[in-house]
Structure 1
Amino acid sequence: MTDTLATPRFGLPLLAVAQAQKEVTHNEALTLLDALLHPAVEDGPLSTPPGTPTPGQGWIVGTAPTGAWEGQDGAIALWTGGGWRFVAAREGMRIVRLSDGAWLCFHGGMWVAPATIDPPGGGGVIDVEARAALVALLASLEAQGLMISG
């Protein structure tokens, strides 16, 4: 048995012995898991909450949040039927930003996009096979969310 009533990594609520209304705690944990299992956000980092969110939508909170997001710098904000839920970002977390398809990584206390690499081009004599291999490599890195091609 643990001394805390939340998981150590993401603070998911745990059931307590002889707890009444266990479904409340269980449903809260499922709501947070729903946001973290395949993390995708509409946009961000943003400092102002959106005006008309839909349940299930999420955003990355910016560095100077206001309103309902105040004090949640860098967190993932999820809109649910019960209001805002926040998950603190952890080093190495990856999330896809739906507004532009970029995979962001939480590194050094901030959400960062992967480096952009331009595909090979130019030159008077180009080895076609080498160019094709480089293009395939870049496509693979982009598909894994590790790079964004120019």
Structure 2
Amino acid sequence: MPDALDFTATTARHGLPLLFAAQAQKEVFHNEALARIDALMHAAIEGESTEPPTIAPDGQSWLVAPAATGEWAGHDHAIAMRQAGQWLFAAPVPGMRVYDQTSGQFALFSDGWQKAAAIPEPSGGLMVDSEARAAIGALLLALRASGLLPPA
């Protein structure tokens, strides 16, 4: 006899609630899933903080910094999404990308959130070739860190 099917209550990657036959109040679970999808699809955050902003309209998302306090305590590295006056939290998964509207750059999650470091322009020096190589190397490193290029 085959094994019985094992149903989980949420999806594996983003914890979206699943519906079941004869489930009461399906619209609650469906609406929660839509709210999470709305915040996570093409995710954009206002910035990174250890505590919630004093005023946050619905639809805003923030990256929870390490050592968070208040309502965000215990949700380090998560994406805090404001929905219906409440904070929902989405745990990051490897490969997740968000756009930080404050810094104007993308952050990639891979053992923590990573942003590409600024690359200084070459200046001075006697050997143009060595400076050019160093600048190109830094550029390649930044492109790999941001997920635009695969690892070497």
Question: What is the TM-score of this pair, normalised by structure 1?
Answer: 0.77
Match of 1:113?
115
Q: 1:61 touches 1:74 (CA, 8 Å); kept in 2?
A: yes
State the distance in 2 between where 1:82 and 1:6 align: 23
State the distance in 2 between where 1:100 and 1:145 align: 17
Match of 1:19?
23
Stretches of structure 1 that go unaligned for 5 or more consecutive residues are none
| Secondary structure at the counterpart of residue 59 of structure 1 | strand
Q: 2:108 touches 2:147 (CA, 8 Å); kept in 1?
A: no
Deviation at residue 122 of structure 1 after TM alignment = 5.3
Identity of aligned residues (%): 47
Task: List per-residue Cα deviations over 1:51-106 (Å, max 9, x = no partner).
Answer: 01010001000111111111111100001114000000111211111012111111
Stretches of structure 2 that go unaligned for 5 or more consecutive residues are none
State the distance in 1 between where 2:123 and 2:31 align: 53
Deviation at residue 117 of structure 1 after TM alignment = 2.1
| Secondary structure at the counterpart of residue 29 of structure 1 | helix
Runs of 4+ in 1 over 6 A off after TM superposition: none
Q: 1:61 touches 1:75 (CA, 8 Å); kept in 2?
A: yes
Match of 1:64?
67
Tell me if 1:89 matches 2:77: no
Q: 2:64 touches 2:79 (CA, 8 Å); kept in 1?
A: yes
Tell me if 1:75 matches 2:78: yes
State the distance in 2 between where 1:64 and 1:74 align: 10
| Secondary structure at the counterpart of residue 31 of structure 2 | helix
- Residue 5 of structure 1: which of 5, 9, 12 is its match? 9
Tell me if 1:51 matches 2:54: yes
Deviation at residue 118 of structure 1 after TM alignment = 3.0
| Secondary structure at the counterpart of residue 116 of structure 1 | coil
Q: Aligned pair in 2 of structure 1 residues 102, 145: CA closer, same or farther (>3 Å)?
A: farther
State the distance in 2 between where 1:55 and 1:47 align: 19
Q: Specify the code of the residue in structure 1 equivalent to 2:106.
A: W
CA RMSD of aligned residues (A): 2.8
Q: Specify the code of the residue in structure 1 equivalent to 2:21.
A: V
Question: What is the TM-score of this pair, normalised by structure 2?
Answer: 0.76
1 or 2, which has the higher strand percentage? 1
